[in-house]
Amino acid sequence: VWRCQSCIGPVDLESWSEPHGPVPEGIGFGRFRRWLPAAEPVSIGEVTTALVPFTWPPGSSTEVLLKTEGSLPTGSFKDRGSSFLVGRLRSDGVAGITVDSSGNAGASIAAYGAAAGLRVRVYVPASASTAKLAQIRAYGAEVVAVEGTRQAVGEAAVAAATDEFVYASHVWSPYFIVGTQTFAFDVFEQLGLRAPDAIVCPLGAGTLLLGSYYAFRGLVDAGLCERMPALYGVQTVRCAPLARAWSKTRAVESGDCSASIAEGILIASPPRAKAVLEAVRETRGAVVAVEEHEIRSAVLALARRGVYAEPTAAVSAAALDRVSREVGGEGDAVVVAAITATGLKASGLIDELLTSAEAQ
């Protein structure tokens, strides 16, 4: 069952996490399974991703912390969700799955599916980065490229799913979000068992933002953490249904999305929109949208200082000066920005970006 039968919305869990006792020891996010309502996650050798001190904007003295998720096995934060989602599907006895993705989730689910012995079919936009498509195929998954919007890709995947290849979308399944909570558990541990003032992350469907929310909610409710971090979601102006809803405080309307170098966050109708907006409101964060030129500058500014991020991942950095100003206080606020994937995922886009920067 991939969505609630009566309300046709996404399925929620009664309890998203139950942190207790000391932080589970070990390396990699799989150790947090003891805090999560999860089956045994699949592992392909995860590391604990770094929290890198960085001054931003470049040239300023404001310090932020970048959580560099590109060092996970398939090069993006999606591995957190896939490990737990595929673990659950394996324990349910599923043999084959159909997913839809802009590329990173597809590659990640293909990798974890391969490790778990599941057959995987991935529906992607025909415009997806070639590195992501090659990665999905290399893991042995079948790729079905669909012309049209990201929405059309999702609809094609749902229509094509069978009992042999059940629909198990990372955007809809709560078990993917079970896994993305480990991002926040890492941050909590790396900061010495406390929450940062703010977490900034790219925002498409909201699996990372919601995972961060549920994890800190669990830690606060369990009395292990004093307060919630303010959650900031970053969209591109080319596809900003949640930023628009946030700024006008009205219901989400699915709008048109046009092509953007932030190819991973082009979700016109995020199924968990209401929950995302509530999480942002409750934590006193915001949803903002950045311009294409701001994303391009962020990719280059990060890379010129050693952090190679694909454009979708760099949107957090593109919004950082706005966020730092908002939460700045006395200048000692702790702001964590999720750099969600390596630039190796989108070398074609970065190559074009460099060519146009050099021509100017």
Ligand X SMILES: Cc1ncc(COP(=O)(O)O)c(C=O)c1O
Q: Which residues of this protein are in contact with ligand X, per CB under 6 A?
A: 76, 102, 104-105, 202-208, 264-265, 310, 312-313, 340-341
CA atoms lying within 13 Å on the CB side of residue 261 = 27
Nearest-approach distance from CB 182 to ligand X, in angstroms: 14
Cβ distance to ligand X smaller for residue 211 or 333: 211
SS3 at position 154: helix
Q: Are strands 51-55 and 63-68 parallel, antiparallel or unpaired?
A: antiparallel
| 309, β-bridge pairs | 342
Both tokens of 9, joined, read 């919305």
Q: How many CB atoms lie within 10 A of CB 193?
A: 13
Nearest-approach distance from CB 157 to ligand X, in angstroms: 14
Nearest-approach distance from CB 329 to ligand X, in angstroms: 27
Nearest-approach distance from CB 203 to ligand X, in angstroms: 5
Q: If residue 104 lies in a helix (H) or strand (E), which one and from where to where?
A: helix 104-116
The residue of the chain with the least Cβ separation from ligand X equals: 264
Cβ distance to ligand X smaller for residue 78 or 333: 78
Nearest-approach distance from CB 19 to ligand X, in angstroms: 21
Both tokens of 314, joined, read 């760099």
Phi/psi at 358 (nearest 5 deg)? -70, -30
Cβ distance to ligand X smaller for residue 102 or 260: 102
Report CA Rg, the chain: 19
Nearest-approach distance from CB 102 to ligand X, in angstroms: 5
Cβ distance to ligand X smaller for residue 23 or 252: 252
Cβ distance to ligand X smaller for residue 41 or 233: 233
Both tokens of 232, joined, read 């900031």
Position 299: which residue type?
A: V
Contact 205/56 with Cβ under 8 angstroms?
A: no
Nearest-approach distance from CB 161 to ligand X, in angstroms: 20
| C-alpha to C-alpha distance for 347 and 130, rounded to whole angstroms | 9
Cβ distance to ligand X smaller for residue 102 or 135: 102
Contact 65/52 with Cβ under 8 angstroms?
A: yes
Both tokens of 338, joined, read 């999720």
Cβ distance to ligand X smaller for residue 12 or 226: 12
